[in-house]
Amino acid sequence: MRNIKIIIQYDGTRYKGWQKQTEEINTVQGKLESLLSLMTGEEIQLIGCGRTDTGVHALNYTANFHTNSNARTEDMFKYLYDNLTDDIAIKSIKDSSERFHSRYNILSKTYMYRINNNQVKNVFDRKYIHNISGKLDLEKMRQCSEVLIGTHDFQSFTTLKSKTKSTVRTINYINIEENDGIIEIEVNGNGFLWNMVRIILGTLIEAGKGKLNKNDVENILNAKKRADAGPMIPAKALFLKDVEY
């Protein structure tokens, strides 16, 4: 049996996230599995590198699936290119080792968030950027982000309700850059909890507005209470940028 690795780009605007739920709910995984099953004549189950929330996009989402099909990967690529909707694209598809697992082999993931911090909105970019007209203090945001670097219990920064799942994660870096009023924030870590990135960034934005300082963010982290952290910012400006193996 072959193990096929694919890298996917998708616009998450009209999808209820990556993960397949029911046949009636529109997800990226569900859309791809239906096409792959038709192509191979088998019931294909895609293994994804993780969930993405409703409305979140992906620049390089990694998945793999097993098949007995003898079709060339070039033909698989063409079939998907011809039959996928315009908001999902396959960037690469190739045979991989049997041991490769798109979720269990991950070393780190990088998410990127885009903010338009100008007074004027760009109407053509409105589906993929978060508009904040008041000038953000990027240096204060960077200072507050330092508190979150390393291995911590991020219970304050998730909407996860489970009492049995660990909320300990490692963040390797948070980069905040600005160019002509467009702010891009990258968050890299070994894994992320449900809505974790959006709540972390919402908290840092509150710091950028002068509502929180470094000590406040440290207290939020230690409190382990979702209510203490900042708001969860809109999903439309969040992209899964890279997955490292």
Q: Are residues 150 and 239 in the same domain?
A: yes
- Domain assignment of residue 104, yes or no: no
Range of the domain at 129: 110-244
Torsion, CA 50, CA 90, CA 175, CA 201, rounded to 10: -50
Measured N-to-C along each axis, helices 138-145 and 214-223 cross at an angle, to the nearest 10 degrees, of 40
Q: How far, in Å, CA of 89 to CA of 86, rounded?
A: 7
Contact 157, 224 (CB under 8 A): no
For the chain, what is the domain count? 2
Written as tens digits, the pLDDT of the chain (245 aa) is 999 999 999 999 999 989 888 766 799 999 999 999 999 999 999 999 998 989 999 999 999 999 999 999 999 999 999 999 999 999 999 999 999 999 999 999 999 999 999 999 889 999 999 999 999 999 999 999 999 999 999 999 998 876 778 999 999 999 999 999 999 999 999 999 999 999 999 999 999 999 999 999 999 999 999 999 999 999 999 999 999 99
- Strand segments, DSSP code E, in the chain are 2-10, 47-48, 57-67, 88-96, 108-116, 130-131, 150-153, 168-179, 182-189, 238-244
Q: Which CATH number fits the domain that encloses residue 190?
A: 3.30.70.660
Q: Are residues 58 and 139 in the same domain?
A: no
Q: What are phi and psi of 15, to 5 degrees?
A: -110, 150
pTM tops 0.85: yes
Q: Are residues 91 and 115 in the same domain?
A: no
Q: From the centroid of its chain, how far is CA 202?
A: 15
Q: Which CATH number fits the domain that encloses residue 25?
A: 3.30.70.580
For the annotated catalytic residues, the residue numbers are: 53
